[in-house]
Structure 1
Amino acid sequence: MSTSATRPAPSTQTINVYDRLREDLLSGRLEPGRKLQMRFLTEAYQVGQTPLREALNRLTAEGLVDSHEQRGFYVTQISRSELEELTKTRCWVESLALRQAMAASTPQWEEALIVAHHRLSRTPRSLNAEQFEDNPEWERLHRTFHRTLIAQCGSKSLVAFCDQLADQLYRYRRLSIQKAFPGRHVADEHQAILNAALSGDADKAAALLTAHFTATAEVILKDKAIFADAPAG
């Protein structure tokens, strides 16, 4: 009997390997600059070359993978200039989305925002109180809070673009997260953004959101383990 009926369809295989590769790229398990050799990938992800190439092409379109003719695929390198550009762009577009969401505020949006913040605030950032151990649930709730902030903006395309920027910046944040954790009071920053959003003060809310994103970038830019030319201190 043929086994083809029991194998996942190519589209399903592509989706599965895309999701796994994307997670490994964003988390840093596949480090920036690494050559993505097809033999290694097919063995590591237990997938054929056709769905693998489809997944890699999709990740290339998202900016997480670079494709070089005759040389293959590579994990996109990180750079100081890209981090600065991505951060500046995210500040612009999410501030705009937040202003639009606040202008179209509804009791349902405010309630959803309060619930998202409550769940985030009650979840520990680290699984270990003595030393940093990343909490995946915090990361999920953190993304939900930021997405809820702009969900009422009235543009699915704008929200999708903000998500894409958040993903690209997540790669950078993962590289420096352990260093930033001890001295950063992120919970206070989230509370301040929430208060401004609920009070209807769009200028303050946008300024606090911008400061929140900029502070994250500054930690990364000053990390010599990531950028050797980072200023001392």
Structure 2
Amino acid sequence: MAKLLTNEKENGKHSSGQVSTLATSVYDRIRMDIVSGALKPGKKLRTDELRLRYEAGNSPIREALNRLSSDGFVVREEQRGFSVAAISKVELQELVKTRCWLEETALRQSIENGDSEWEERLVLAHHRLSRVPRLIDPKSAARNAEWDRLHREFHMALIAACGSRLLLGFCEQLHDQSDRYRQLAVAASYPARDPMDEHEAIYLAAIDRDADKAVDLLLNHYQKTAKIIEESDLSFDM
């Protein structure tokens, strides 16, 4: 195990830039663990435990937690510290509604603006996703982290040519917040659908530059996911 950063190192030997770089790394790892469900909703995020888990010092941990709080993945309560944000049906519905609003615009603009480079990126993203199994073991519903990564890449590739860095950033954040619900309910959602058929239809409509059809398919895709999650045995208001 890599040697933990000490407070002395943070205050003396590490510049603010180095601490910021470490904080970004810790932020990415904690965020990934929250989205994947490794850190459950409501879990207390104690600094001493996080230092051991992520092999980082107090300053990067605090900076990462503050950023995650701003992004809505973590909540901070006075005198009680940080914890993983709870989940609820109301929040899920709001996330999906907002995601549909934003990604309709992003997808329409991406289809209108997309050049050959965008098409190549989308073709490659779809091809890679189609070749990887969604679960490592369907019987146990053990999720495949590589599929999750490629799934995210495919959805971001669809809207990559929208022409707005800010819009892409909002869509990316909403994707991760929504995906936390999907991954927490993966055991219930797996037998209920074949998402590759849905991805294939969205992909073909986008490549054919049929914006109306692509948008309709994409929004139905998100709404179907939300319905399956709502009807699952996932414990909400955690």
Give the TM-score of the pair, scaled to structure 2: 0.88
Matched to 1:32, the amino acid is: P
Moved over 6 A (4+): 5-8
Tell me how large the CA RMSD over aligned residues is: 2.0
Comparing 110-119 with 183-192, greater Cα deviation is found at: 110-119
Q: What residue is the counterpart of 1:125 in the other structure? A: 134
Q: What residue is the counterpart of 2:171 in the other structure? A: 162
- Does residue 210 in structure 1 map to residue 225 in structure 2? no
Q: What SS does the aligned partner of 1:153 have?
A: coil
Q: Distance in 2 between matches of 1:102 and 1:123?
A: 26
Q: What residue is the counterpart of 2:154 in the other structure? A: 145
Q: Distance in 1 between matches of 2:181 and 2:139?
A: 24
Matched to 1:68, the amino acid is: E
1:1-233 equivalences under 5 Å are: 4=9, 9-128=18-137, 130-227=139-236
Q: What SS does the aligned partner of 2:159 have?
A: helix
- Partners of 2:192 and 2:228 within 8 A in 1: no
Q: Distance in 1 between matches of 2:56 and 2:195?
A: 40
Q: Distance in 2 between matches of 1:168 and 1:95?
A: 18
Give the TM-score of the pair, scaled to structure 1: 0.89
Instruction: Give unmatched runs, 5+ long, in structure 1.
Output: 229-233
Aligned residues: 226
Matched to 1:57, the amino acid is: N
Cα drift, residue 129 of structure 1 = 5.4
Comparing 30-39 with 210-219, greater Cα deviation is found at: 30-39
